[in-house]
Amino acid sequence: MFLGRQFIGGFNPHTKQWTGYICPKSDRYFVRKGIFNPHVDSHCIGII
């Protein structure tokens, strides 16, 4: 768990990367790829 939040799908524990995750911001959702940063992206939810 990152900061007590639940994440689903898309996380590769070997590379420490998400295949994608949704970041809610201003009523919009952004799909980001790459290394998950719990300090910057703690509000994001991982997706497949």
Q: Mind listing the pLDDT tens digit of every residue in the chain (48 residues)?
A: 344 344 445 566 676 665 555 555 544 444 555 555 555 555 555 544
> What residues make up the domain containing 23?
11-46
Report if residue 33 sits inside a domain. yes
Dihedral sign of CA atoms 10, 14, 15, 17 in order: positive
Residue 26 CA, distance from chain mean position: 17
At residue 41, the pLDDT reads 53
* C-alpha–C-alpha distance, residues 26 and 14, integer Å: 32
At residue 48, the pLDDT reads 40
How many domains would you assign to the chain? 1
Report if residue 3 sits inside a domain. no
For the question of whether the overall pTM of this predicted structure is more than 0.85, the answer is no
At residue 7, the pLDDT reads 46
At residue 22, the pLDDT reads 57
At residue 6, the pLDDT reads 43
